[in-house]
Amino acid sequence: MAKHDVLLLNANYEPLNVCNIRRAVGLLLMGKAEVVTESGRSLNTSGGELLVPSIVRMRYQVRRPIPQLRLSRHSILARDNYTCQYCGSTKDLTIDHVIPRWVGGPGTWENLVTCCRKCNLKKGDKTPQQAGMKLRKVPKRPHYVPYLSLPKYLRALEREDWSEFLPQFSEFRQIGQTVS
């Protein structure tokens, strides 16, 4: 995440977005937002020195429909910390249907896991029990922050100065260090 990225909070202090410095400064200049935390850095601009905010907050509550967390290959990989859920490998990752498709295993949060190609071959069209393999944890729909996309949320976790305003969910606790 770019070091000048700014966490944008709603008026009630809920995370609303991660935006670049230009957008944040625009909101400040228009009087729509206020600075919550400075980053301690400054930028030289044509208008003089500019203190870079780290967190800004909207002066009014932004109302939007709450988006749903989309089930996708990327969100399964992110939820599983880019780690094979059978052997722990982080290479050659693919997605596995825990209960195979041919016996009606659905494409859901609860039945899709990150899996390396080696384990995928070994497991084949069997269930984990039949293949003698064990999942490291039970796959679930992850918690999430409504307005931040999952990748944005995961990147935002890398910012220590934002942690106060980001809810931390146990399934993502180590992801912050590994997602680049």
Shortest distance (Å) from residue 136 CB to Zn ion:
10
Closest separation in Å from C-beta 88 to Zn ion: 7
Coil, strand or helix at 95: strand
- Pairwise CA distance, residues 177 & 155, whole Å: 9
Residue number, 84 or 175, with CB nearest to Zn ion: 84
Identify which of 141, 142, 135 has the alpha carbon closest to the alpha carbon of residue 99: 135
Integer Rg of the chain from CA: 20
Residue 80 Cβ, how far from Zn ion at the closest point, in Å?
11
Task: Kindly list the residues in this chain that would bind Zn ion in the complex (CB under 5 A).
Answer: 84, 86-87, 89, 116, 119
Minimum CB distance to Zn ion, residue 120 (Å): 8
* Nearest residue (CB) to Zn ion, 41 versus 73: 73
Alpha helices (H) along 61-127: 73-79, 117-123
Q: State how far the Cα of 139 lies from the Cα of 116, in Å rounded to an integer.
A: 16
CB nearer to Zn ion: pick between 42 and 130: 130
Choose between 82 and 169: whose C-beta lies nearer to Zn ion.
Answer: 82
Q: Which two tokens stand for residue 104?
A: 């009606």
CA neighbor of 171 nearest in space, from 129, 89, 113 = 113
Q: Which is nearer to Zn ion, 8 or 116 (CB)?
A: 116
What is the closest distance, in whole angstroms, from the C-beta atom of residue 133 to Zn ion in the complex? Answer: 9
